[in-house]
Amino acid sequence: MVVSTSEPTMAMDGRLCIKATARTQYIIRDNMSREFIYRIRSIKEKKYIMTGSLYGVEGVAHLTGCFNRNEHIIEEYTGLDDINGNRIFEGDILYFTARYKQKGNVPVIYYGGSFGCVVTDDSDFKELWNLSHIVQQYYPKIVGTIYDNE
């Protein structure tokens, strides 16, 4: 599969910039392709202002512009969907039941090179579970984001 992309660059003031004019072509093997989609939240406005893709994902706007990390929160799509087919992003809150281990809401985090959730059992023992394991075994549902109560 040939994909057209814009390479992100870091501006001198620390902003993450994606320039639509700096396009490159390269090949992604089918077994390694993934949708790189980001959700942008304005800290000042306290709302999501954009969902976009660097790689031209069908049905998603092409992400261009500069986002100051002091003014915006950038959350990455995990590549996984909830039981209703909604994309799961870093910062989403999932609800699922895992027998004696977990019942209730847990946020999606990025830790140790992968996405996951900290699961707590009845005796308050906490452990990090890989998000792909949670999706495949427990069919979570997105019930909000970590910013819903701001």
- 3-class DSSP string for 79-90: EEECCCCCEEEC
Instruction: Express each pLDDT in 88-101 by its tens digit.
Output: 999 999 999 887 67
Q: What confidence category does residue 30 fall into, taking pLDDT thresholds of 50, 70 and 90?
A: very low
Instruction: Express each pLDDT in 39-97 by its tens digit.
Output: 999 999 999 999 998 877 888 888 877 888 899 999 999 999 999 999 999 999 999 98
Annotation: CATH topology of 82-150 = SH3 type barrels. (2.30.30)
Report pLDDT for 124. 83
Pairing of strands 37-42, 47-53: antiparallel
pTM: 0.76
Q: What confidence category does residue 27 fall into, taking pLDDT thresholds of 50, 70 and 90?
A: very low
Q: What confidence category does residue 22 fall into, taking pLDDT thresholds of 50, 70 and 90?
A: very low
Report pLDDT for 135. 96
Report pLDDT for 93. 97
43-49: long-range contacts (C-beta < 8 A, 24 or more apart)? 43/70, 43/71, 43/72, 43/73, 44/71, 46/147, 46/150
Which residues 6+ apart lie within 8 Å of 4 measured at CB?
23, 24, 25, 55, 56
* The one-letter amino acid at 57: V
Per domain, the residue ranges of the chain are 1-79, 82-150
Distances (CA, A) of 56 to 20, 99, 125: 11, 40, 42
**Is the pLDDT reported for residue 102 higher than 80?**
no
List residues bridging with 39 in a β-sheet.
51, 75
Give, as one character, the DSSP assignment of residue 135: H
Contact 107, 52 (CB under 8 A): no
Query: How far apart, in whole angstroms, are the C-alpha atoms of residue 96 and residue 82?
Result: 10
Number of H helices, E strands in the chain: 1, 14
